[in-house]
Amino acid sequence: MKKRTERDTAEVMRDEMVMRDKILSLLTEDRRTIPEVAAALGCSTHNVVLWIMAMWRYGSLVEVGKPNDEGYYTYRPAV
């Protein structure tokens, strides 16, 4: 049996509403990249990508400036 290292997308997305407030709180304090949000929350970058992209798609977040050297945008709440 193969060991599962990541949760499936549906599982991760079920947590979106809970994580939304935590992510918005972090990004209100300071603009951050996806890896920075993941580190602050103690979550995998994979999960945070899914949450951030959903929030961005529905207008809760906006990207700021150009991507950094690693290719990550900085995000802030869309207010």
Which of 54, 51, 56 shows the shortest CA–CA distance to 75? 56
Q: Decide if 33 contacts 71 (C-beta within 8 A).
A: no
Instruction: Give every CB contact of residue 65 below 8 A, 6+ residues apart in sequence.
Output: 73, 74
List the structure tokens of 53. Answer: 């992209």
Phi-psi category of 61—alpha, beta or left, where left has phi over 0 and alpha has psi -120 to 50? beta
> Tens digit of pLDDT for each residue in 45-76?
999 999 999 999 999 999 999 999 999 999 99
Query: Structural domains in the chain?
Result: 9-77 (1.10.10.10)
Q: How far apart are CA 74 and CA 33, in angstroms?
A: 4
Query: Has residue 44 got a pLDDT over 60?
Result: yes
| Residue 7: per-residue pLDDT | 64
What is the share, in percent, of the chain residues with pLDDT greater than 70? 85
Report yes or no on whether pTM surpasses 0.85: no
